[in-house]
Amino acid sequence: MSFKTRIRQVLSAGAGALALLATLASTPAQADPTVICYNCPPEWADWAGQVKAIESDLGIRVPLDNKNSGQAVAQLIAERNSPVADVVYLGITSAIEAAKKGLLAPYKPAHWDQIPTDLKDPDGFWFSIHSGTIGFFVNRDALEGKPVPKSWADLLKPEYRGMVGYLDPSSAFVGYASAVAVNQALGGTIDDFRPALEYFKQLKKNDPIVPKQTSYARVLSGEIPILLDFDFNAYRAIYKDHANVQFVIPTEGTVALPYVMALVKGAPHAADAKKVLDYTLSDKGQAHWAQAYLRPVRQGAMDPELAKKFLPASDYERVRPVNLEQLAAKQSAFGQDYLKNVR
């Protein structure tokens, strides 16, 4: 068969074929569904591993995001009329604030009934997925021979000058949680933050490091030898990154607080977003949080052998309760007082 004959055969069959090719060329490739989460940082609570599992099990992409709780709420406010995010992960106080501002939509995920009443909004505007305890995340090597601090008072000593870090309490939930912890430990109340403000003023004289973002890597590198942080980050460093670090629950006391998830009001991909929220409370999702050394909200999700890697229960007896609604109501005022009196 000659070359010209072959061309004629292609062309004779070609009208329909060419039309089909043109249609295919003009049709965008079908991408995997995507759910946008605000404040899902890879180095925090092993969100990197969780979103990988979500994509593997659900076929839904969840891009990682390095905002903190305050930044996430500010972004939701800015995008109120044209939402970009589908779900958001927040410290409890920011979630309560976001719900009151009308930024969240009600959704009661699978396993809703297994969440304790005080760890979920009764109408479904937010729900806890795990919790952590505030203490000292200490890089022992970076202390250069100095003793591991055991108390809030220790951090004010000149020997730790330039060694102590804490996230900005005016924007990051873990920063505010640290302020609440030291305030209660030093005799303050939710209506009186003077002990915390005075403590941070004293700590400022010791040249602290005050980042706005998650600082896990900076502790491991030794750039921040001592960080006020949640226990799960320290345990991850010990057992997964095999770093020479230690977690300390200060002798004067501390607090344990939940982190929550919520559906964003007007979420562009609400159906898939609900699947992601369900996953965070599923058996596998809760087991993942436990493996990242967080306290999963569903009782029984923590493997007993894994629980043995935490500090002894006697250390956790120094954890003091705090009213979550009151905690949220005072956060903004404390942030302003901190900026005015400390920073």
pLDDT-based confidence at residue 62 (cuts at 50, 70, 90):
very high
Q: Which of 52, 338, 50, 30 is nearest to 195 (CA)?
A: 338
Burial code (b: 16+ CB inside 10 Å, e: under 16) for 95-104 equals bbbbbeeebb
Would you call 162 exposed, middle or buried from its count of C-beta atoms within 10 A (0-12, 13-18, 19+)? exposed
- Residue 22: count other Cβ atoms within 10 Å of its Cβ: 10
Convert the pLDDT of each residue in 211-260 to its tens digit: 887 789 999 999 999 999 999 999 999 999 999 999 999 999 999 999 99
Cβ(228)–Cβ(178) below 8 Å: yes
Please tell me the predicted confidence (pLDDT) of residue 23: 39
Convert the pLDDT of each residue in 252-288 to its tens digit: 999 999 999 999 999 999 999 999 999 999 999 999 9
Would you call 41 exposed, middle or buried from its count of C-beta atoms within 10 A (0-12, 13-18, 19+)? middle
Least confidently predicted of 18-22, 110-114, 173-177, 289-293? 18-22
Convert the pLDDT of each residue in 182-207 to its tens digit: 999 999 999 999 999 999 999 999 99
Cβ(127)–Cβ(120) below 8 Å: yes
Check whether 343 has a pLDDT greater than 90: no
Please tell me the predicted confidence (pLDDT) of residue 299: 84
Please tell me the predicted confidence (pLDDT) of residue 31: 63
Dihedral class, residue 4 (left if φ above 0, else alpha if ψ from -120 to 50, else beta): alpha
Helices (H) and strands (E) in the chain, counts: 14, 10
Q: Which of 168, 239, 273 is nearest to 210 (CA)?
A: 168
Please tell me the predicted confidence (pLDDT) of residue 32: 78
Q: Which of 180, 167, 164, 260 is nearest to 213 (CA)?
A: 167
Residues making up the chain, counted from first to last: 343
Check whether 19 has a pLDDT greater than 80: no
Cβ(283)–Cβ(276) below 8 Å: no
How far apart, in whole angstroms, are the C-alpha atoms of residue 298 and residue 302? 8
Convert the pLDDT of each residue in 72-117 to its tens digit: 999 999 999 999 999 999 999 999 999 999 999 999 999 999 999 9
- Residue 256: count other Cβ atoms within 10 Å of its Cβ: 20
Chain-centroid distance, C-alpha 22 = 46
How far apart, in whole angstroms, are the C-alpha atoms of residue 137 and residue 140? 9
Please tell me the predicted confidence (pLDDT) of residue 145: 95
In this structure, what DSSP letter does residue 79 have?
T
Please tell me the predicted confidence (pLDDT) of residue 213: 77
Q: pTM here?
A: 0.82
Cβ(169)–Cβ(339) below 8 Å: no
